[in-house]
């Protein structure tokens, strides 16, 4: 036990802060407890010490030690805080009740509150993901995975709004041990970079309206060099998608005239993981060499 604060926190917020700030100095078992406590506050409020202990994979006495380390007399004293938090919350927040309240609030209140925007966003993105699941062809996926496998290097193109998707692909492909090169145009070298693409490579171009000329240029260069082109786009009716061997047509969510990237990112992730499972350096079970949860 390193320090023994005279004043244990008396409200949840303070407690969470205190735990976070002392986390580094804690022993391994205490860390286990700390992260469980932060992640599952309601469990702490409602379950008994021994079931909490079981879920942390720790002895009940460890929980008591944890509470004492924070300055409480015992674990029950700490639980009291979590229980009070629940009691302080609105009387009966049943799910349907909350939905009703939300409707009420948002109909009358301003549409522009961050809270409402978030609600819209999650809602629309969920719909977009459902569409993605229905809309992407099994064969297209197989074809692209196969092309990626055969390719020496995967080039990624995407600027502005599409850039995060291309960057994510470049990053995660190289993490599953596929050579990947992001045509990022740093130092204005896009044309030098894309000159390198050959027939043994492939390029994945991500482009959404309004289509960027940089990405179109890359597509053109790919055509000239005989490099197979895969497009991730919102339509087939643009120069990039038209020349693509495979075009994934993604309908991303649109919230108040702002297009989201959720579905595109989800597709990108699918491509990478599928590739890793099928052909990744570590064989069938895919992600083995990278220890622990992938980053």
List interacting residues with DNA (CB under 7 A): 1-2, 27-30, 48-50, 58-62, 64-65, 67-68, 73-77, 79
* 72/194 Cα distance (integer angstroms): 63
Say whether residue 28 binds its own copies (CB under 8 A). Answer: no
Q: Binding-site residue total for its own copies (CB under 8 A)?
A: 110
Residues of this chain, 228-247, that bind its own copies according to CB under 8 A: 235-237, 239, 241-242
Q: What angle do CA 177, 197, 204 make, to 5 degrees?
A: 65
- Strand, helix or coil for residue 120: helix
186 binds its own copies per the rule CB under 8 A? yes
28 interface partner picked from its own copies, DNA, none, CB below 5 to 8 A per type: DNA
Query: What are the φ/ψ torsions at residue 253 (nearest 5 degrees)?
Result: -60, 145
For residue 74, the minimal CB distance to DNA (Å) is 2
Closer to its own copies by Cβ: residue 6 or 285: 285
Q: Quick one: tokens of 196?
A: 């390198």
Cα four-point dihedral sign 126, 238, 224, 141: positive
Instruction: Report the partner that residue 253 touches, choosing among DNA, its own copies, none (CB closer than 5 to 8 A by kind).
Output: its own copies
Tokens of 197: 């693409």
Tell whether residue 86 is a contact of its own copies (CB under 8 A).
yes
Q: How far is the CB of 72 from DNA (least distance, A)?
A: 8
Query: In the set 124, 190, 193, 194, which binds its own copies (CB under 8 A)?
Result: 124
Minimum distance, C-beta of residue 180 to DNA, in the bound complex (Å): 38
Q: State the Cα–Cα distance between residues 26 and 246, nearest whole angstrom.
A: 53
If 0-12 CB within 10 Å is exposed, 13-18 middle and 19+ buried, where does residue 172 land?
Answer: buried
285 binds its own copies (CB under 8 A): yes
Distance of CA 71 to the CA centre of its chain: 37
């Amino acid at each position: 036990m390193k320090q023994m604060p005279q004043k244990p926190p008396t409200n949840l917020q303070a407690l969470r802060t205190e735990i976070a700030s002392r986390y580094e100095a804690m022993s391994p078992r205490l860390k286990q407890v700390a992260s469980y406590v932060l992640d599952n506050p309601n469990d702490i409020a409602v379950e008994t010490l021994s079931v909490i202990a079981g879920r942390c994979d720790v002895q009940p006495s460890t929980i008591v030690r944890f509470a004492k380390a924070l300055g409480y007399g015992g674990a029950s004293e700490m639980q009291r805080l979590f229980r009070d938090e629940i009691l302080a919350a609105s009387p009966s927040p049943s799910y349907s009740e909350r939905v009703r309240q939300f409707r009420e609030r948002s109909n009358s209140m301003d549409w522009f509150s961050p809270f409402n925007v978030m609600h819209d966003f999650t809602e629309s993105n969920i719909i977009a993901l459902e569409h993605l699941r229905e809309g992407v062809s099994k064969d297209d996926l197989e074809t692209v995975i196969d092309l990626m496998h055969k390719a020496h290097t995967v080039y990624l193109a995407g600027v502005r709004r599409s850039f995060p998707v291309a960057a994510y692909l470049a990053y995660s492909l190289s993490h599953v041990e596929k050579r990947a090169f992001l045509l990022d145009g740093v130092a204005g070298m896009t044309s030098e970079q894309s000159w390198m693409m050959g027939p043994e490579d492939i390029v994945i171009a991500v482009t959404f309206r309004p289509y960027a000329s940089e990405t179109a240029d890359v597509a053109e260069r790919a055509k000239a060099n005989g490099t197979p082109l895969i497009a991730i786009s919102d339509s087939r009716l643009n120069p990039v998608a038209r020349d693509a061997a495979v075009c994934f047509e993604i309908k991303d969510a649109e919230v108040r005239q702002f297009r989201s990237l959720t579905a595109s990112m989800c597709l990108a992730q699918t491509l990478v993981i599928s590739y890793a499972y099928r052909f990744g350096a570590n064989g069938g079970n895919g992600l083995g060499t990278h220890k622990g949860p992938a980053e």
